[in-house]
Structure 1
């Protein structure tokens, strides 16, 4: 499993890790995310999901700290045959409106008929932490609108994208950035949700 940033690192170490990550990301800027290798394995994601759902919290000891649902646009121009004149088309992926994604708290698992008609879809954000190492990671959670975000079992993020300040604060963070990539989506039999572990830089 790829190493994620540890929040307990001192400031100098955090900056060094962040710079290395940015250099790595900049090399991939002109590559199509569709051609990327998947970022995490299905086994990695399944192991964490099972640990979260286990009452004994076995394995790596991951647990879920916060879970919020947000409305936001879906769809990107990643795939052949994708049409649409705006920033977001009818293709699966995470819609990017500028460099930031925003949204509203939503206590349900689906958009209202009005917002759905406006092209809004619902996804969840779940902050998880390893109890032993305090390593933190972000998971996207999908339910009814899975097809609007995924294709061939993958969730695509076309470019690095930051969460808005209201989304970051809802997750207890100052800043959250989701890294461009191709992420495997895993179905969980216990919750009946679909999960994608996304490479994230946050503080």
Structure 2
């Protein structure tokens, strides 16, 4: 569970400054209501395929504007080391990137390359992507959500989507909120600082990291 949330925070942070494709296909207009569930499912499948293929650019293109806006500070903080004012999920992502990459490396790498690096490091866990699925999709206007399942079991990480310019995209906002709550709750329960909790989870991720070569 914690590895999955760590992966969300770090991979999302890598998407900063990636931008969006110019415009959208002419056919990408608002779909009739009865087609929305299918369209959301297709976006989920596209995201899963991009992750399986370690296609960083494909992952980034599927993120919502709000997701990119919220994590805009993350990569900057990873680059300059300034963490003041960051929420736990943003700090989580920035410290995670700094744990694995030097600032000089971050500056040289494109956002897509950073995502691919994270996938090579198995930041989502070895089985999360291959065994992930989504059930019970609910659409409310331009927002949708589903139940994320891993190995046929529901997990706490939210699967949210938002329709932008007629295209359904992945919205990481609630997943990052959940990371915030996890860190704050653990800090309170263990009477430690949020920074200490973040460091502990990052240290565990390093110890459990699968060899990449």
Shorter chain as denominator, the TM-score bin is under 0.3
TM-score with structure 1 length normalisation? 0.24
TM-score, length basis structure 2: 0.23
Q: Could you say which structure has the higher strand fraction?
A: 1
Flag the structure with higher helix content: 2
